[in-house]
Structures are given as structure tokens and as C-alpha cells.
Chains A and B, each alone.
Chain A
């Protein structure tokens, strides 16, 4: 039981990291990247390649890990910028759900490209921290999982700090609050949208590096994870980063704990959780109820 909770928390924290990406773009542009999972996949595969190349060239493993995270964030940020320009901005003027499909279009292209580059095989992603198992009482936890837990805390802290304290974060929040007013204050909402998507993709990339050694890496790994992260964001409330964190952890734990009782319907348990939450709280657990004004 305890084991399941711990494993669930670790998985859930990864869901939460990916899901924060949904939050950032949703508040600024009212859109989100439905292909986030495939961005994660690209992050994982790129991370794998770069880690491999760095360690092969003799850089110390830990340094390589840090460098890789920075590198992947940058590369994914650029990819996010491209996504915004190619698939979001051209569709902004239309009150439609076109962005759902345009981001899906980008993601299936990425999937195909990844398949061509990295092949169809499942590729091992050895954690830079090794996979030794620590034991605390009954509970086993690998070094990599420990690393994930610590990274999750650090990333969340950085993110909250960035969003609430930094000037850029405040600018993002301003656009989220009132686009027109923000643009009157000299904030360029388009630039903020690009920033949001870059950040979102970077988070997906980091999520990929974290999750790679836990799942396996392959061109098709993204779809499930992206969907789960989306579910986490929805459970918590898309407009509340704290809610998303809770939603992610909750989803991870429920899945793991439920499989103790019935492993066959494990993923059904997550879905039922989503449905129950949305029936009673249609804005998610911590979402704000908005009274529409007419």
C-alpha cells in the first residue's frame, strides 16, 4: 500500500509538471497544446541522445544531466515558439476549436519524424543516477525516482516563483487577467503567448527527461502521458497551478492504489475519478466558479 502511494506520488508529480504547461498556455491564450505528450516524447528522446553524447565525450554524469536539462529546455522552448507561430497564432482570430486539431497535427508530424530519426524500437533510457534501489522499511525507491521527486519540488518552486514574483511572470498573469488592459500597459500579448508556449514545451521536455527512465522511450510513448497530464490539469482546475499539482498527485496515487484491488480496470479508475470530479465540480477541484456576466 505504502509502496503504491509512493510510486503514485512520483508518477503524479511528473503528470503535474507536464500539466503546468497546459496551465500556462491556457491562461494566456485560452488554448493548449493537445500534443503535449508528443513534445514530451521529443524531449525524452533528445535528452537521451544528448546525455549519451555528453557522457561519451567524458563530461561528468551529473553535470551532463544538468546541461541536458538546460539544453532540452532551450530546444523545446524553440519548438514551442514554432508551435505557437505555426499552429496557434494563425487560428487565433477564429472562434473555433481548430487549435485542438492544429496542435494534434503538429504532434503527429513530430511522432513521424521521431520514428524516422530514432527508429521504431523502444530505447532504453538509463538514468544518469542509476537505478539502485533504496529501501525504507517496506518501500523501495530507485535513485532516479528520488531525483524525480527532488526535481519536481525544485521545478514547481521555480515555476511558482516565476509566475508570482518575476516581472515576466506578472506580465503573463496580466495578459491572463485582461488581455486588452495588459496590452495597454505595454505588454505585448503575442509575445506573451509565445513565451507561454515556449515555457509549456520546455516543461514537457523536462517531463520527458524525468519520465524517460521510468517508462521506456519510444516514438509512441507520448500519447498516454499527454492525456494523463491533461486529465490531471482538468481534475485540479486548469486555471489553478496548485490545483494542477494536487490533481496530478491524486491521479498518480489513485491509479497505483486502485491496481492493488483490480489491475484490469486500473485506468478506468482514473477516468471514473475524472468524471466524478467534473460532475460535481465542473471547473475542477480548485477551479474558480465564474459567473458569466451578460
Chain B
């Protein structure tokens, strides 16, 4: 009995050896598996007729669901307009949306599914930086362009910057740029030297922390006076603020999302301590104002790259979103989602549906009209950030409206 078992195993191992070559995955035409999915499959990318599949892999549940939802609305609008305008050679674009649940391993699964099963020609990618880090490998290896509307982690577009073709693009204010803008204002303009940092413990806050520390060190040879953190769902930040007050900081850099920003502002009021606060773009989320009302007006500055009234296009876009969905839950994320999708669609209009060609077209695009602060030529081979620190500015609330100070 034992003997037989080992013989069998041996035979198996041998057959591997004899077979010589392993199985070839993902060969065109050998998509045996593709017929088995849930009917989401579509004609191949080069089908000529039929629809052009474009993916959206973003969190629609979990803590970042709102960002995903906002971006999704922008993308949906862009696709709708593209189709209404006749599509590309009569081919309409079809949006395939999966929820990554803000989990990195889910994100990998759905990106692979988009690429292998749904054969998307390009896709718009996630809200969480950690999810992006987990899955960009697959986009890059498969040669499918990904344009990121929300995730701001600095490293994402850098990962493959050295490759001949980097398939990862972004239309979102990346952290490094935001931090540079913040620190330029705090250190160079305001001449502050004693800075405190308050960040959340998710990838967002921790990534921001790393960027702040690096920029301070490299550019100004400074260090943070106080570093404090908080958890998502924390109900107050009194302890952290008390420490800031005890350390007598000049200003507090806040790196967290809207609900926590609201808690921070509430705690400031409760302690009757209002340090100058410079925050990342998330504090510009309208939710903050909804949650705390007038508390936003006191010494709160944040990096922004978009205001509804910054251009005519932006205003028009905002109206369109409002008329389609009833409200604009997070204008900047919707606008970025819209631009991301449009970058892909414009590229398709130019070069067709070959993913590699779409990538080249996006990189070389020089006549893009976006609704964010994106330039006509957003990218170069070296730079895959559409919004750089020159597009970013420091804004503040005045009577509840975000304005330049």
C-alpha cells in the first residue's frame, strides 16, 4: 500500500518532467475559463464590434466606501457621455464595477478578474493606497493601463517608474505633493519650527506621516516636535491635543479622513485650544463641514486641488453630477474619477482598444480637457502624476466656504 502510493507520486513527478514545459496561461484564444464567469464576459478587446470593457475596481463598502461611490459616479458619467457621443467607431464602452471592500487581497482578485475574465482595455483603480500597492503588479505585468482617482500613497506611481512602460497613472493629489505644499507654507511662509503631526493609523495616515518626516528632513533638515496618532472611529482626540498643547507647537499637521477630522475639530472646541491646523485634502471633504458646522472656520487650512468654482468646466461637471445623482457627495473624488475615465476614453478615441496603445496615448496626451486642475498634457514618461504640487494650493474655510487664504 505504501509502495503503491510512492510509485504513484513518482509517476506524477515524472510526468511533470516529461511534459517539459508548464502550462501557458492567458494565451489569447485559450480562454477556456472565460466562459464560466457570471455572464459578465464580453467580446475580446480586439473584437471590432461589441462593447469596449472598462473596469472600475474600488471600495464600495467598508470605511472608504464614500470615496469609491463618488469616484464611481464620475466614471459612470464619463462613460455615459462617451456612449452618448457615439463611442469609438460605433463601439460603446461598457463599465464593469467590482467592490474591493477596502481589502487588499480582494482588490487583487477583482483586478485579476477584470484583466483576465472581463478583458478590460483599461481600468480605474482604487481608493485605498494599500489596495493599489497589492494589485498594481498585475496591471503592470498584464500591460493594462490603470488610472487612479483617489488613492494618494506616494509610492504607487513610483513602483514601475523605472520600467520601459509604466502602466500606472494617477489623477489625485499624491501625498508627497500635498506634504510639500503644506510644509512650504508652514515652514517657508509662516516660518514655523515647532510642528506637531496628528495622523490616523490606516495606510493613509501612516503614509502621510512618512512623507512628512522625509520632506522635513530632506528639504528643511527639521524634525517633528510631536507625533500623535488616532484610530478610525475614535470619538475624540483630546488626549492627543493636550499633548500638542503641552508641547506648545506652532501648528498641527492633520493627516486623516473626514469623520476623524470632524472629531479633531470638536475636540479642539472642547479643550478650547485652537492651534493652526494644516491638513491634507481629505479635510476638504464637505462631510467635515456637515459634521461640525462652523468649527471649520477657525484656523483650518488644507491642501486642495479642486474647488467647484475653479473653472467653468468644474462648475458644469458639478451641475451634471447633481442633476444625475441628486447630490455631489464628494466633488473632488467625483471630478477625479471623471477625469480618470475620460483619459482612458480619449485615448481610445485616438488609438482604439489595444491596451498598450491606450497606455502610450494616455502618456502622450497633450490636448486633454479635464474638470480638475489637470493640464492639457498631464503626463510625461517620468511623471505619471496628473496633479503635482504646482496644481495644489492651500485653502481655508471662510464662512464655511473653501477659499484661497
Contact = CB atoms under 8 A, between A and B. Distances in A.
Given A121-B329, A259-B240, A264 B229 contact: yes
Nearest to A14: B235
Contacts of B242: 3-4, 260
Interface in A217-262: 218, 220-221, 224-225, 256-257, 259-260
Among A135, A259, A267, the most chain B Cβ lie within 10 Å of the Cβ of A259
Interface in A84-138: 112, 115, 119-124, 131, 133, 135
B65 interface: yes
Contacts of A115: 61, 65
Interface stretch (B266-274, B297-305, B362-370, B390-398): B266-274
A122 B291 contact: yes
B213 interface: no
B259 A122 contact: yes
A124 B66 contact: no
Contacts of B65: 115, 120, 220
A119 B61 CA distance: 10
A44 B272 CA distance: 28
A199 to B, nearest CB: 25
Given A140-B271, A263-B230, A11 B235 contact: yes
Interface residues of B, number: 36
Contact of B66 (A121, A221, A224, A264): A121
A216 interface: yes
A266 B233 contact: no
A36 interface: no
A131 B233 CA distance: 19
B229 A119 contact: no
Interface in A136-153: 140-142
A264 B230 CA distance: 6
B60 interface: yes
A7 B60 contact: no
A120 B60 contact: yes
A287 B63 CA distance: 36
Contact of B272 (A121, A135, A214): A135
A215 interface: yes
B244 to A, nearest CB: 11
Interface in A259-289: 259-260, 263-264, 266-267
Nearest to A214: B235
Contact of A218 (B60, B68, B238, B259): B259
B291 A216 contact: yes
Interface string B225-251: 000111101111011101100000000
Given A4-B239, A119-B329, A263 B287 contact: no
A216 B290 CA distance: 11
Nearest to B68: A120
19 contacts: A4-B238, A7-B236, A120-B60, A120-B65, A120-B68, A120-B69, A122-B259, A133-B270, A135-B272, A214-B235, A216-B259, A221-B233, A259-B239, A263-B228, A263-B229, A263-B230, A263-B240, A266-B230, A266-B234
Given A4-B239, A120-B329, A122-B259, 11 more contacts: A3-B238, A7-B236, A120-B66, A120-B69, A214-B235, A216-B259, A216-B291, A221-B233, A260-B243, A263-B228, A264-B201
